[in-house]
C-alpha cells in the first residue's frame, strides 16, 4: 500500500513521526510537505495528497494540520475524496467500515502523538464493510455534483 502524507506547520511534527511509523510498518510513503515548521497554508498540501489519491498514485492519504479541519475541508473539494476528520479510535474505525474513507485528517494540536499513531494504525488496518447500505450511501456521496 502506498500512502500519501501532507501537513502544514501545525501538523509537521506529527506528520514526520507518522511517516517514520508507516515506513517501519512496511508501507511506501510519499511526502507532499511541508518540510519544516515555518508558517504555511494547509491548502496546497491537502490538494496534493487528495489529487494523488484521486489519480490512484496513492492508495490512501493522511493529512495533519493544527486541528485537521482545514485539511479535511480542502481535501473533500477534490472529486472522489472522502476525507474524514478523526480525533478518536471509534471514528477512525467507523469511517473505514461505513464510509470507506480514503483520506484521514487529524489535528496535530488536538491529538497527542501516541494516540495519533494508534488512530493511523486502526484506520489503515480496518477494511470497508462492503455492506449494501454503506455502498448505497457512498454512491450517493460520490454522485452528488451540487447545484
CA-nearest of 27, 66, 70, 29 to 46 is: 70
Instruction: Out of 14, 65, 87, 134, pick the active-site residue.
Output: 65
The position carrying cell 484521486 is 54
Catalytic residue among 9, 21, 87, 98: 98
**pLDDT (tens place) for every residue of the chain, 147 residues total:** 999 999 999 999 999 999 999 999 999 999 999 999 999 999 999 999 999 999 999 999 999 999 999 999 999 999 999 999 999 999 999 999 999 999 999 999 999 999 999 999 999 999 999 999 999 999 999 888 876
**What count of Cα atoms within 13 Å lies in the side-chain half-sphere of residue 18?**
36
Where in the chain are the domains? 2-143
Contacts of 142 (CB under 8 A, 6+ apart): 80
Residue 65 designated active-site: yes
DSSP state of 115: H
Enumerate the H helices of 12-101 as residue ranges.
Answer: 12-24, 42-54, 69-75, 89-97
Question: Homologous superfamily of 2-143 in CATH?
Answer: Sugar-phosphate isomerase, RpiB/LacA/LacB (3.40.1400.10)
Amino acid at each position: 500500500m502506498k500512502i500519501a502524507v501532507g501537513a502544514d506547520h501545525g501538523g509537521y511534527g506529527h506528520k514526520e513521526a507518522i511517516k517514520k511509523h508507516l515506513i517501519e510498518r512496511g508501507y511506501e510513503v510519499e511526502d507532499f510537505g511541508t518540510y519544516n515548521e515555518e508558517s504555511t497554508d494547509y491548502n496546497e498540501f491537502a490538494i496534493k495528497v487528495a489529487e494523488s489519491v484521486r489519480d490512484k498514485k496513492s492508495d490512501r492519504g493522511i493529512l495533519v494540520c493544527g486541528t485537521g479541519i482545514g485539511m479535511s475541508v480542502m481535501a473533500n473539494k477534490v472529486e472522489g475524496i472522502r476525507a474524514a476528520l478523526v480525533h478518536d479510535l471509534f471514528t477512525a474505525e467507523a469511517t473505514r467500515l461505513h464510509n470507506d474513507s480514503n483520506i484521514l485528517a487529524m489535528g496535530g494540536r488536538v491529538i497527542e502523538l501516541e494516540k495519533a499513531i494508534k488512530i493511523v494504525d486502526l484506520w489503515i488496518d480496518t477494511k470497508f464493510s462492503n455492506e449494501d447500505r454503506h455502498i448505497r450511501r457512498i454512491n450517493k456521496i460520490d454522485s452528488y455534483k451540487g447545484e
